[in-house]
Structure 1
Amino acid sequence: MKPFRYLLLAATALAALPADARPRWTEAQATTWYDRQPWLVGSNYAPATAINQLEMWQAATWDPKRIDYELGLAQGIGMNTMRVFLHDQLWQQDPEGFKRRIGEFLTIAKAHGIKPLFVLFDSCWDPDPKLGPQHPPIPGVHNSGWVQSPGMPGLRDRSRYPAYKAYVQGVIGAFATDDRVLGWDLWNEPDNGADQYKGQDGKEPLVRALLVQVFDWARDADPSQPLTSGVWIGEDWTPGGKSSPMEKLQLAQSDVITFHDYSWPEIFERRVKQLLPYRRPVICTEYMARGNGSTFDGSLPIAKRYNIGMMNWGFVDGRTQTRLPWDSWQKPYVLAEPTIWFHEVFRNDGTPYREAETSLIRRLAAAPKGVVPTVDSVQPEPRRARRR
């Protein structure tokens, strides 16, 4: 099928919202929901024992004891949410067991005062996911085992689409009225090309056409929680601006607005100002890459002032190895650690990577919405000799 036919399919699907599906929330509904939440602060989360979504959730590697320990660390620094990735193949493998483990995760999270935002699909990293034992981390490489959902074979095979509908409606339907769930992030970075992998020609039109259907399927499940998909790459997200077709779809369909930003504080604030005119709650669902200029002390106070929810990438150092920078894909850090960790809040043993950062998070989380308490700035990480 040629690209222009996918665009036609997407436009047709947008106009054909099922009659029994709930509509997109109004601005007032979205605002009312957000007003009931605390100032949202948390991380993107996978336990240190999991290299990816599959390893986190499959029965053989499910690790509730470690999850309980790590969410206790989050509670201790004032975090109240986590962004957590699911995967369509987990539903196909064992839907009832998958639902039980999600329920167990929600029980653990609630005990620590945390409401997760669940991610259903993902266009980042390996385009050929496979169930079963996952390969070990590649030494010195950032996020070397993360997988896409559904992946390129699944995107190209339209016979699998009914299974994706069953996954979306099965998971959301099971927890549609569960107040332990913050919301549903339907597709992470849908227009991410994952360029380090070959064989992904025609990916973006396929994802865009499917994302239209995913929003419809999700609304048909009638969740009490908001739906979203976050913009991340364009330069102008303002209403009527120069957003791409994918970004326009995401912004037009989301109940609450979400975005990613790994840039300097002034760019982060510019992004926030681009999105505020939508008059909907705004949540940054990925940020904090120290070596790229995105830091807790740079972005968090700005977000608190504007009442923007914040979820940084990375929590406890582990098998994802996202303490290592993005450039490790080109030059693996096999002989020495980077001078500054890229992501992560805690070391594997539960000690903070930098106590000044965890103190900042705790103090901002404790302050009323919109109030930025006077805090000592977090000092730059001192340069140290390379570790052997």
Structure 2
Amino acid sequence: MPRWSAEKANRWWAKTGWVCGFNFLPSTAVNFLEMWREESFDRDTIRRELGWAADLGFNAIRVNLHYLVWKHDPDGTAARLDWLMSAADGLGIGTVPCFFDDCGFGGAEPEYGPQPDPIPGVHNSRAVASPGRAALMDGTDWDGYQSYVRQIVRRFAADPRVLFWDLYNEPGNRMIFGADGSSSYEPDFSARSLALMTNCFEWARTESPSQPLTVGAWVTPPVGSSDDPYQAPADKTALALSDIVTFHAYADTPNVRRFIDYLADLGRPMLCTEWMARPVGSRIDDQLSLFRDRNVGCFQWGMVKGRTQTHLPWPADLVAQHGGAADRSVWFHDLLDDQGRAYDPAEIATLRQVLSRQDA
């Protein structure tokens, strides 16, 4: 199956309509391993929080799977994904599954089983990569990765509940967060990530899915840089292989406009699959309307404050690199507390107003 033509991708986008969603992890899960294990797959919380999202007008979720859960329980993993997509679809919400993820901010390698409690005061302190950075460097489970991708895509290849397939989140992301609020980098494994990402496109296309495939461009230059964005090898390869253009944009509005202008030249539908971090200027009150006006789909990070603690800031040095300050009095991500109460009622009013527009 070849890459979609730009014409086919744009026909899909015209039929789909504007997409506005969020990256979903229920508030009772400390990471995606905890979310997907049968013992901790919290159906009641998932139903409740998706219901809150539907009430606000969201029409999509992006959600990471985890390879280790599938490896230990392939049939159960697929069944739980099926259940999640049915719960979302019943509320008018489409699903974007994501297979692999290098964003292991917690620093530990993933281990199947009960997950530890969050480290107090640390953003996403138990985030683990999928399949894991050490597993990528070891390189002995490639056949398993192929089976994982192909079996799940095969099962849902014609399923309208799948909006699109996001094959790999942030390939080559080496950042880790320290418990003391610092940030650092692990040894480079980006060549392995690039190889796995490229194989993912081949494996998924072998199953001839009816939905488009993508990997988001995520490595952007420092805020204020005049360099063209998305020139890192992983980004360039992702943009060349993807049926639709996806990208991450934790940046202020002038920079987000720059990213959109740059990517618009590719002539394909655009969706920002991660955004919204208040202290770096990535805010609902101006950027949601920008995405709507430019017909760029968007998925903000987070919905309900919970065990990931993503309402807390990134490390101060990383926030500064993105042009902000790590102000702990301001929620970094997330919209609601675990009772469904809004962090900022004005944001909710803006969301309702933009999401109810009928012009796109």
Give the TM-score normalised by the residue count of structure 1: 0.84
Q: Which amino acid aligns with 1:96?
A: D
| Structure 2 residue aligned with 1:107 | 86
Query: What are the superposed Cα offsets for residues 105-160 of structure 1, whole Å, 9 maximum, x if unpaired?
Result: 01100111100111110111235111100000100010011110111221122220
Query: What are the superposed Cα offsets for residues 176-198 of structure 1, whole Å, 9 maximum, x if unpaired?
Result: 11101111111111121124488
| Structure 1 residue aligned with 2:242 | 254
| Structure 1 residue aligned with 2:201 | 215
Q: Which amino acid aligns with 1:132?
A: G
| Structure 2 residue aligned with 1:5 | none
Structure 1 gaps, min length 5: 1-21, 331-336, 371-388
Query: What are the superposed Cα offsets for residues 39-88 of structure 1, whole Å, 9 maximum, x if unpaired?
Result: 11111100000011111110000111110110011111110001101011
After superposition, the Cα gap between the structure-2 partners of 1:76 and 1:35, relative to the gap in structure 1 and judged at 3 Å, is: same
Larger-Rg structure = 1
After superposition, the Cα gap between the structure-2 partners of 1:231 and 1:301, relative to the gap in structure 1 and judged at 3 Å, is: same
Deviation of 1:246 (Å): 1.4
- Residues 39-58 of structure 1 mapped to structure 2, 5 A cutoff: 39-58=18-37
- Is 1:279 aligned with 2:260? no
| Structure 2 residue aligned with 1:233 | 219
Tell me the SS of whatever aligns to 2:315.
helix
Aligned counterpart for 1:176 among listed residues 148, 152, 157 = 157
Contact preservation (8 Å) 2:124, 2:309? yes
Q: Which amino acid aligns with 1:169?
A: R
Deviation of 1:201 (Å): 2.4
Tell me the SS of whatever aligns to 2:216.
coil
- Residues 333-344 of structure 1 mapped to structure 2, 5 A cutoff: 338-344=328-334
**Which piece of structure 1 moves more, 321-330 or 295-304?**
321-330
After superposition, the Cα gap between the structure-2 partners of 1:224 and 1:65, relative to the gap in structure 1 and judged at 3 Å, is: same
Contact preservation (8 Å) 2:276, 2:300? yes
| Structure 2 residue aligned with 1:365 | 355
Structure 2 gaps, min length 5: 179-183, 223-227, 319-326
| Structure 2 residue aligned with 1:294 | 282
- Alpha-carbon distance in structure 1 between the residues aligned to 2:26 and 2:56: 17
Aligned counterpart for 2:294 among listed residues 290, 298, 306 = 306
- Is 1:244 aligned with 2:225? no
Aligned counterpart for 1:326 among listed residues 305, 314, 325 = 314
Aligned counterpart for 1:347 among listed residues 327, 337, 355 = 337
**What is the aligned-residue identity percentage?**
39
Tell me the SS of whatever aligns to 1:60.
helix
Tell me the SS of whatever aligns to 1:209.
helix
Deviation of 1:241 (Å): 7.9
User: What is the RMSD of the two structures over their aligned residues, measured on CA atoms?
Assistant: 2.0
- Alpha-carbon distance in structure 1 between the residues aligned to 2:25 and 2:201: 25
Contact preservation (8 Å) 2:97, 2:165? yes
| Structure 1 residue aligned with 2:13 | 34
Query: What are the superposed Cα offsets for residues 316-366 of structure 1, whole Å, 9 maximum, x if unpaired?
Result: 000000000002799xxxxxx921111001111111111211121121111
Deviation of 1:242 (Å): 7.2
Give the TM-score normalised by the residue count of structure 2: 0.91
Q: Which amino acid aligns with 1:189?
A: E
- Alpha-carbon distance in structure 2 between the residues aligned to 1:29 and 1:131: 40
- Alpha-carbon distance in structure 1 between the residues aligned to 2:230 and 2:56: 39
| Structure 2 residue aligned with 1:190 | 171
| Structure 2 residue aligned with 1:122 | 101
After superposition, the Cα gap between the structure-2 partners of 1:87 and 1:369, relative to the gap in structure 1 and judged at 3 Å, is: farther
Contact preservation (8 Å) 2:174, 2:185? no
Tell me the SS of whatever aligns to 1:317.
coil
Tell me the SS of whatever aligns to 1:117.
strand
| Structure 2 residue aligned with 1:10 | none
After superposition, the Cα gap between the structure-2 partners of 1:266 and 1:73, relative to the gap in structure 1 and judged at 3 Å, is: same
| Structure 2 residue aligned with 1:160 | 141
Contact preservation (8 Å) 1:39, 1:365? no
After superposition, the Cα gap between the structure-2 partners of 1:49 and 1:328, relative to the gap in structure 1 and judged at 3 Å, is: farther
After superposition, the Cα gap between the structure-2 partners of 1:199 and 1:325, relative to the gap in structure 1 and judged at 3 Å, is: closer
After superposition, the Cα gap between the structure-2 partners of 1:226 and 1:369, relative to the gap in structure 1 and judged at 3 Å, is: farther
| Structure 1 residue aligned with 2:44 | 65
- Alpha-carbon distance in structure 2 between the residues aligned to 1:195 and 1:369: 42
Q: How many residues align?
A: 341
Q: Which amino acid aligns with 1:227?
A: L
**Which piece of structure 1 moves more, 201-210 or 43-52?**
201-210
